[in-house]
Amino acid sequence: MARKFLYVVAGLTVLAIAATFAYRLFGNQLLRWSTVPGESFRAQPAAPPSLYDRTALWLARPELPNNPAQWTPAGHTPGKTGTGAAIFFIHPTSYISKASWNAPLDDAETNERTALFLRGQASAFNAAGDVWAPRYRQATFGAFLTSVADAERALALAYGDIDAAFDSFLDTIGPDRPIILAGHSQGALHLTRLLRDRVAGNPALARRIVAAYVVGWPVSVTTDLPRMGLPACGTADQTGCILSWQTFAEPADPSLILDVYDQTQGFNGAPRRDTPMLCTNPLTGTPNVQAPATANLGTLYPSPDLKTADLLPNRVAARCGDRGFLLIGDGPNVGPYVLPGNNYHVYDYSLFWANVRADANRRLAAFAR
C-alpha cells in the first residue's frame, strides 16, 4: 500500500477548500490568480488509441502489480481476474498545478494522488470484475474556475485521451464481455461525453453496458440524459442505465454548483437553468427516494494513521432533495475534507462504498440472466 491512504488527497482537497473560502472572501480575481494557469493553452498532439496498448499508460488494469483498485477493507476480497465485467473507471482531478493547463502523464505526484482516489472509489467495483483506469492529461483544477476558452481546450484534450483509452480498452477486452462505466468529478464529466459520443447511437455497445455510474457531476434529466444513450436506472436491478448523485450534509448550500449549472447549456443545446438533476439514492439504487441509515451496508472510516479504513454499516442515511442533490442529514466524521456548503463531494463513493459494491454485483447478475 502507498504511504498514505484514500482520504489523503490533501493537495487537491486543501486547495479546493482554500479556493472556496478565497472565493467567498475575496471573489473571482484572487481565486483565479491562485489556481488558473497564467500561460495560454499549448496545443498537444492527440493520443492515438495504440498509445494505450502500453501497460504503463494505465494506473489500474488486470495485470498490473500493486493495482490500487484492488484494495479492499477487511471482510472483502476482489473478484477473480478475468471474470465478470470489465470496469472502465475515469478518475477525478488530481492535478492541482497552475504550471500548465493539462497534467503530464508521467507526473509522479499527480499519479500518486490518483492512486489514492482509485483505492477509495474504484475499489468498490473490484468484486464485479477487472478495473481499468487510464492515466490521462487531465485538466488542472483551475480549469473549472474560469470560463476562458483555454479551459475548454484543456478539457477537450483530456477527453481525447479518455476516448483513445476507451478504444484500446474495447479492443483488449473483446467483443462480448459486459462493461461497467464509472467516474467521479472531472472523470464523471468526461464520462457524460463518452456516453453521448460513443454509446448513444451505438446499439451494439449500449447492449453491453451493465450500468454507468456518473458520480459527483450534475446530469440534467431534461437537457443531458436524453442524449447520453442510456436511461436513468429506475429499479435496483435494471441494467443498461445511468446512476448519478452529488452528496451534501444538511443544512446544504449547493449555490456554488447551481450558479454554474444554471448558466450552462445541456447536450441538447437548451439551458440547464431550473432543470432537475438526476439523483440516484446509492442506498437503494433507485431515483428520488429516501432511505434510513439501516439501509447503508458500509461507510469507509479512516484509521487514525490514515493507512487503512474500517467499513462500518448503518451510519449514513440518504435522500434525494430539491433539484436532485443527495442529502445525508448530519454529516458523519469521515475525514477533514468536507467542502464549504456541507459538500461531501470527496466522499461521494466512500460514504456508500458497500452499497455501490452490492449495486454493481446485483446489476451484473441481472445482466447475466
Q: What is the pLDDT of residues 188-241, one digit of tens each?
A: 999 999 999 999 999 999 999 999 999 999 999 999 999 999 999 999 999 999
Q: Which amino acid is at 306?
A: L
Is position 279 within any domain?
A: no
d(CA 106, CA 84): 31
Taking alpha carbons only, the member of 233, 144, 220, 139 closest to residue 181 is 233
Identify any residues that bridge with 168 across adjacent strands, giving them in sequence order: none
Identify any residues that bridge with 287 across adjacent strands, giving them in sequence order: 280
Is position 185 within any domain?
A: yes
Q: What confidence score (pLDDT) does residue 99 get?
A: 85
Among 22-31, 94-103, 152-161, 269-278, whose mean pLDDT is lowest? 22-31
DSSP annotation of 40 reads: P
Is position 294 within any domain?
A: no
Mean pLDDT for the stretch of residues 13-40:
51
Is position 317 within any domain?
A: no
Distance of CA 159 to CAs 32, 117, 118, 171, 340, Å? 23, 19, 19, 19, 28
Q: What confidence score (pLDDT) does residue 23 get?
A: 41
Q: Is the dihedral of CA 336, 337, 340, 341 positive or negative?
A: negative
Q: What confidence score (pLDDT) does residue 282 get?
A: 98
pLDDT confidence bin for 34, thresholds 50/70/90: low
Say what percent of the chain tops pLDDT 70.
Answer: 89
Query: pTM higher than 0.85, yes or no?
Result: yes
Is position 235 within any domain?
A: yes
Q: Are strands 58-60 and 179-184 parallel, antiparallel or unpaired?
A: unpaired
Q: What is the pLDDT of residues 255-272, one digit of tens each?
A: 888 988 999 999 999 999
Domain range enclosing 195: 10-244+257-269+347-368
- What CATH number is associated with residue 158? 3.40.50
Q: What's CA 309's distance to the chain center, in Å?
A: 20
Contact 320, 312 (CB under 8 A): no
Q: What confidence score (pLDDT) does residue 197 get?
A: 98
Mean pLDDT across the chain? 89
Is position 327 within any domain?
A: no
d(CA 360, CA 239): 10
Is position 70 within any domain?
A: yes
CB atoms within 10 A of CB 354: 21
Mean pLDDT for the stretch of residues 263-287:
96
Contact 205, 230 (CB under 8 A): no
Size of the chain in residues: 369
Say what percent of the chain tops pLDDT 90.
Answer: 75
Mean pLDDT for the stretch of residues 304-318:
87
Total domain count, the chain? 1
- Coil, strand or helix at 292: coil
Is position 237 within any domain?
A: yes
DSSP annotation of 102 reads: B
Among 221-225, 307-311, 342-346, whose mean pLDDT is lowest? 307-311
Q: What is the pLDDT of residues 55-98, one digit of tens each?
A: 999 999 999 999 999 999 999 999 999 999 999 999 999 988 88
Higher pLDDT, 356 or 16: 356
Cell of 193: 461525453
Whether 4 shows a pLDDT value over 70: the answer reads: no
Q: Where are the beta strands (DSSP E) in 110-266?
A: 129-134, 179-184, 209-215, 241-243, 247-248
Whether 1 shows a pLDDT value over 80: the answer reads: no
Burial of 293 (0-12, 13-18, 19+ CB in 10 A): middle
Higher pLDDT, 234 or 4: 234
